[in-house]
Amino acid sequence: MRRPLSFGLVFAFTTASLFGQKSEAEQRADIAFAKGLAEMGFVGLSEEVIRSVESAGLSGTLAEEVALLRCDTLYDAAKANASQREKLLKQAVDGYQAFLDKYKSFGNEDLLARAQTSAVEVDGAYARILSASLEDLAGEELTKRRDEARKFLEGAVGRVNDLIREQEELEKGEDYSETQRRRMFQLLLNGAELNLQLAGVQELPTTFGIAENMFIKLSDKAGEGTPWSLRAFIGIGDVYSARAAREEDFAAAKKLYEEAAGYYEFAVDFSMPKDLEAWKVASAEMDQNEKQSRFLFLQLGTPGLIKSWLSAGDTKSAVENALHFVNTWKREGLDLIQPQGYMALLDVAQALVDAGGFLGGNPASGDLKWYETQEEIAAAGLPKTRQRTTLDHALSLAQAVSTEKENKGTNLQIRAQRVIGTIIQRPGVKVDPSVLIDAAKGEFAASNWSAAIDGFKRTVSALALQDQATQQEKMPEVLWHIARSYQRMDRTLEAAAVYEYTLDAWRGDPVFDKNSAQGLYDCAQLLKKAVKGDATIDALAQRADDRMKEVGSDSGEIDFRDAEKLFAANDFERAKAKYATVSTGTVSYDKALVNVGLCDFKLGRYADAIKVFENYLTKYLKSAESATTDARRIGKRKEATATARFYWGLSEFELAGSGSGSWQKVVDVLGTFQDEFPEQNQLAPAAMYRVLIAYGRLNQQAKVKSLLGLMLTSFPDSKWTGLGATESYKMLKAQFDAEKDPAKQATIEREMAENLQVLNRTSSKPAFPNMRQESRHWMNLAEWATAEEVLQRIVKQFSADPKLAEDMTKRVLPDLGEALLRQKKVVDAMTVLDPLVKDEKNKASKSTAFDYVQAVGGWLEVQGTKVLENAGGATKKEDFEGAIKPLIQLVEGTEKWTTEWYGYKAQQIYFVLRWSALDGKQMDTARELMNYMTTQIGGAAQFKADGMPEDTRAKFLWLASKVK
């Protein structure tokens, strides 16, 4: 916050400037005053003071001070003005350079040193602006901007390198001061960061190593554990993280990210350890200032630490460090610095979004803990008030950044809004409307009425995708908040319109019905006072009176809501009794009738539940007692009808599963549910799943297949579709095992693969065995591209699990290599298979070794009467040299003159033939191998031998024509 200017100070300056020539002391006071104005953000006033001082005529050191002050003022202005920051920083860069060019040979040493340090700092700030701008560009504009950034950084790096060399010369002197020592630290830090930024805009990075060495030098000079050293460790983490981002090889990138995380973690944990007991001991005698100083390194190191663990596939470590940051912040009552602290907060929010799951604990006291599943947090025994989703907390953090006054109009606010947008609209993530409601309530509580309206409108859009029950539960509250926000903004007519719509379309909540009726009444009375004698306003006031009377007399809704609360608390016996007390004239009477049966269902009384549902659907709805023209009751009735039909079917399902019911009855009750209740997008796929199982139990496999196809079309992302695919898979597996015809087996296996594909794509967290089985099916079916896609996902999701290390090495990666090879992606296949074949501890199978040899050297393929060559991925002699050993082991480790041996021998000759293109001496080896086969096989000219398949014989004939 800007401090108010002292009138006395301003008056003293302005009146003094009216009189004659000032003394040097007075001029220095004016310079100091101008500097103070700039530091407080009053850049315009500072410029006026500088111009006034200059107009009086300056010489010597005073002229230098004012010239440098002008540069400093531009830098301060850039810090204070987000919208003009790039322009002002460029002016500051040019200003400092002009100052150094002018005064370098004869200027004041202290001023020159300060100018040099500031110039490097401004170079870094301007470079960061340029680099950040690249994220939103593409095409020619991106190329032009990247070239601009590269050229600037090359110049900046050259300037800072020159200063470091000068400083190193001064280090050799005996009078090397502490000030010079600190200056060297700052130069090394800035130089390392500039080299890192330069590597980021180079097509082939060449300065990563220079940046790392500068950070190491800084740490060594400052001493391990010092603030400078901790900052250097964070910088080294930045280097490894940037290198990983440019690395195309997955395993290499993962290793670099893990190394980056190690450096970040050292700085973070050294400053404020995650171990609470260790922190309590370390902080026992610390004051708040020291804690705040240490917290700086959490703000600087946490973003890189989180991103590195996430990129390495270690979600747990990323979330642990994200929560260490927010827990420490809240527990210790610390302040966030601009902008790093808020940037860290956004990275924490994004990590929580990516991780998913739940948080337990109290955010205010800083004891949050992550739970991956609902079951885990339930097992922890935390009260509901101490449980929330990660999305909920991420949204609150992002909104805290977005609404922070100092962040308004800055890139931080834009980033925060993007995180919020990610949470709300992120593909594959369904945000519970309650999360959006809580977020919008935060704006409402802060009196940010426009933002609150936007938030609640987003919630309305989200609720439109929910089932009717959820809409009925949430919509009255959401709409009331929108209307109330309009009312607080004095937009009375809009508020009245929303209140009235809420009462007409979404009545049923006893609390918000009354609130909306009161709000409508208040708005109508206010409008009536402001606009007298208007028929439209008078009619609105009359409707408001009517609504007040209507909601005040509906005691049955209060009984219904009380029953709902008991039901939500799993107190089904008391809920059932309370539902039975709801009076016949109540809007929710139909729902109360049906929910009596729902309580029986929850209590396991399925036969009793069926009686209630059947009585409601076949008797009550057809009776005169049920007749109504109330649109609200009709709406509730449709929902009640769907609930009765669904849970009648589920009751029949439970009875059939226990052996006391009929599977055909399940089909009779639920078979057309999705057609009769298309708006029930949650219940419909659940009903179809039960019908699918019933068809299976009735041995109607054709109907199982047809219904699963319908589920895939209508509800492709539903968990019930995934579960249906699982059930169908089990049925198909039994058929497959019983079938003896290979062609029919292949047809069944394709269905099995497709079923698992559905399961794995609809599951939020696919299981390794399911994904592995799916990949095996595609491999068996020679669907290589599909197999590759599944195997790549397996590697990405499970490669970090040590329990699966053997599966990955022995089975998954070899299959991936084969899938790539069969698609002729030979270079990719080489990359995957090379470490497997050369691993002495985990000896590769024959098939894996053979795939590797083919990936390197290529192979022959027989199609009809033609022998075709398939090129391998080898580009240099060393590639062949690395693969010849496993090839020789295959040949020598196989019994001679067998079918398998002939195949390996043909591959060996072809491999050496291809090798000879890079190393001419290998042609002699190829001839020796060919001559051996010619002399050893009877009927050498035709290569006919027992155990040699015709395809292999064709290969030998082709090789004989090439190896001469």
| pLDDT over 60 at 938, yes or no | no
- pLDDT tens digits, 344-397: 999 999 899 888 888 998 887 888 999 988 889 888 888 877 888 888 788 788
Among the listed ranges 430-439, 784-793, 804-813, which one has the minimum average pLDDT value? 430-439
Task: List the single range of 409-413, 556-560, 618-622, 918-922 with lowest mean pLDDT.
Answer: 409-413
Of residues 78, 83, 73, the one with CA closest to residue 34: 73
Most confident of the following: 252-261, 627-636, 695-704, 725-734: 252-261
**Average pLDDT for residues 38-52, to the nearest whole number?**
64
Mean pLDDT of 647-668: 94
Q: How far apart are CA 484 and CA 347, in angstroms?
A: 34
Which of 525, 526, 518 minimizes the C-alpha distance to 502?
Answer: 518
Q: Is residue 874 within 8 Å of residue 856, measured between CB atoms?
A: yes
Tell whether the model's pLDDT for residue 588 goes beyond 90.
no
User: Residue 10: its pLDDT value, please?
Assistant: 40
Please tell me whether the peptide bond between 339 and the residue prior to it is cis, using omega within 30 degrees of 0: yes
Please state whether 428 falls in left (phi above 0), alpha (psi between -120 and 50) or beta: left
Per CATH, the number for 829-964 is: 1.25.40
pLDDT at 410 over 80: no
15, pLDDT greater than 50: no
* Structure tokens, 859: 């192979």
pLDDT score of 887: 93
From 28-42, 585-599, 643-657, 780-794, the region with the lowest mean pLDDT: 28-42
Q: Which of 421-425, 502-506, 732-736, 862-866 has the lowest mean pLDDT?
A: 421-425
pLDDT of residue 701: 82
Question: What is the pLDDT at residue 381?
Answer: 87
Q: How confident is the model at residue 773 (pLDDT cuts 50, 70, 90)?
A: confident
pLDDT score for 617: 94
Three-state SS for 150-167 is HHHHHHHHHHHHHHHHHH
Gap between the Cα atoms of 574 and 576, Å rounded = 5
Q: Where would I find the H helices in 136-287?
A: 139-171, 178-201, 208-222, 227-246, 250-271, 276-282
Amino acid present at 15: T
**Band of the pLDDT at 12, cuts 50, 70, 90?**
very low
The pLDDT of residue 552 is 61
pLDDT at 9: 39
Kindly report, residue by residue over 232-247, the tens digit of the pLDDT.
999 999 999 999 988 8
Q: How many CB atoms lie within 10 A of CB 888?
A: 13
> Tell me, what's the pLDDT at 560?
83
pLDDT at 168 over 50: yes
Distance CA 397, CA 326 (A): 9
Mean pLDDT of 3-32: 49
Q: What's the rounded mean pLDDT across residues 872-883?
A: 91
**Which residues are paired to 360 by β-bridges?**
369, 387
Assigned token pair, 148: 């601009």
pLDDT at 270: 92
What's the pLDDT score for residue 555? Answer: 66
Peptide bond into 303 cis (omega under 30): no
pLDDT above 50: residue 11: no
Q: How confident is the model at residue 449 (pLDDT cuts 50, 70, 90)?
A: confident
What average pLDDT does the structure give for the chain?
A: 84
pLDDT exceeds 70 at position 136: no
Task: Choose among 323, 394, 326, 305: nearest CA to 356.
Answer: 394
Judge if pTM exceeds 0.75. Answer: no
Task: With H, G, I as helix, E, B as strand and everything else as coil, classify residue 556.
Answer: helix
Lowest mean pLDDT among 148-152, 422-426, 734-738, 819-823: 422-426
Mean pLDDT of 574-603: 92
Is the C-alpha dihedral spanning 271, 274, 278, 283 positive or negative? positive
Tell me the percentage of the chain whose pLDDT exceeds 90: 35
pLDDT classification of 134: cutoffs 50, 70, 90: confident
Number of Cβ atoms within 10 Å of the Cβ of 640: 24
Burial class (CB in 10 A: 0-12, 13-18, 19+), 737: exposed
**pLDDT at residue 53 above 80?**
no
Q: For position 3, what pLDDT does the model report? A: 39
Kindly report the number of other CB atoms within 10 A of residue 170's CB atom.
Answer: 14
Question: Mean of the pLDDT values across residues 195-224?
Answer: 88
Predicted pLDDT of residue 832:
94
Residue 433 has pLDDT above 50, yes or no: yes
pLDDT (0 to 100) of residue 56: 60
At 894, the pLDDT band (50, 70, 90 cuts) reads very high
- Please report the pLDDT score of residue 370 as a whole number: 92
State the pLDDT confidence band at 418, using cuts at 50, 70 and 90: low
pLDDT at 339: 81
What is the Cα–Cα distance from 386 to 410, expressed in whole angstroms?
34
Which candidate, 120, 107, 219, 115, places its Cα nearest to that of 160? 120
* 3-class state of residue 380 by DSSP: coil
Number of residues that make up the chain: 964
Parallel, antiparallel, or unpaired for β 387-389 and 358-360?
Answer: antiparallel
Domain boundaries along the sequence of the chain: 247-431, 829-964
- Mean pLDDT for the stretch of residues 552-558: 65
pLDDT 10s digits, 285-324: 888 888 988 999 999 999 999 999 999 999 999 999 999 9
Instruction: Work out the percent of the chain whose per-residue pLDDT is above 70.
Output: 89
Structure confidence at residue 231 (pLDDT): 92
Give the rounded distance of the alpha carbon of 371 from its chain centre: 17
For residue 405, the model assigns a pLDDT of 76
Give the torsion sign (CA, 879, 882, 887, 890): negative
